[in-house]
Amino acid sequence: MRLHAPLIIDIAGTTLSQADRRRLRHPLVGGLILFARNFSDRAQLAALCRGIKKLRADLLICVDHEGGRVQRFKTDGFTHLPAMRALGELWRNDGNTGTGSGALPACAAATACGYVLGSELRACGVDLSFTPVLDLDYGESGVIGDRAFDADPRLVSVLAQSLLHGLLQSGMANCGKHFPGHGFVKADSHTDIPVDRRSLKAILADDAAPYRWLTGSLASVMPAHVIYPKVDARPAGFSARWLGDILRGQLGFTGAVFSDDLSMAGARVLDGLPVSTTQAALAALNAGCDLVLLCNQSLGDGSGVDALIDGLTEALVKGLWQADEASELRRLDLLPRASAVPWDALMVQPRYMQALDLLP
């Protein structure tokens, strides 16, 4: 049986420390997530990614690189990508007919965003960006806001499908987030425990609709640290009802499921009681997550990362969770299959140059 490597961890700096190398070699670690602190320039980023792959070629190198205010790499040639709301506004201003304001068609712009985003990251050695955001923009959520395409799930789905096509052209997989929807609640799950009191019927009809319509195109999904009490008392990422019965059963999703960051406030209380990151990781894995993220814990002495690795190892030995070969295969499926276009060649590639012209 193939060993399941569910942990996605972080590193502190722009190079790998000995502690980083030790952690990334651990068989339960399946990848890492990069942040702006891990970037100084393109050459450094590429060298860092090469060093990671020399440790283990199967490690999945991830980043939150959506565009707008959530874009980790912004200098040394990286294109400043628009917030996804700009694509929704382009659709509405232009009517998607080319006869409105004279703006370029929104779907072509969305595909261009996906291609530029994916090809630039891949040229530097990054495997996966946690994008697109499929939340609906109800105008209430500060943490979502302009990260969402629009309030209409149909428009969100069409633009997301176009962006997914651009990512596919670049050779990069994708991750739809935050299932079943984070846009309705005001609270930020980074600092609070949001509660959405709507019915399952209402959520499925609106917020979760893009996941149903895009189920054949989404490679992975990240659930929200939001409690929907009319469905389950636990946040979606810790709920077998949401992940097993609804996402995989009712909506037919077959790709990988990532937890959101286990260090967020929305992940640190379950059933009204505070939990450790190890307890949160076990709850997420046993609920149906294939992979669990722990961010911003490598800073200082990195004891938070070590505690999670040790805790999950002990839990595996004690049978508190079971390694899942299907989950491991889903992780490996997220790795790019084709070679990336090198940066210098990318800069003069006709498809890339055309995509830059199509950006809003």
Catalytic annotation, residues = 190, 260
Token pair for 207: 């917020």
Determine the residue type at 49: C
**Residue matched to tokens 């590639």:** 349
Give the Cβ contact number of residue 209 at 10 Å.
21
Beta strands in the chain (DSSP E): 7-9, 29-34, 60-63, 65-67, 70-71, 128-129, 176-179, 220-223, 256-257, 269-270, 273-274, 292-293
* Cα–Cα distance measured from residue 265 to residue 239, given in angstroms and rounded to the nearest whole number: 17
**Residue matched to tokens 């004891």:** 303
Residue 136, C-beta contacts closer than 8 angstroms, at least 6 positions apart: 148, 150, 151, 152, 153, 156, 181, 183, 184, 206, 207
Nearest to 203 by CA among 223, 221, 179: 179
Residue 92, C-beta contacts closer than 8 angstroms, at least 6 positions apart: 150
**What is the CA angle 202-203-204, rounded to 5?**
95
Longest dimension (CA), the chain: 64
Token pair for 242: 């949401």
Sequential DSSP letters for 43-56? HHHHHHHHHHHHH-
**What is the CA angle 11-15-20, rounded to 5?**
40
Give the Cβ contact number of residue 212 at 10 Å.
15
* Region class of 145: left (phi > 0), else alpha (psi between -120 and 50), else beta: left
* Cα–Cα distance measured from residue 8 to residue 40, given in angstroms and rounded to the nearest whole number: 22
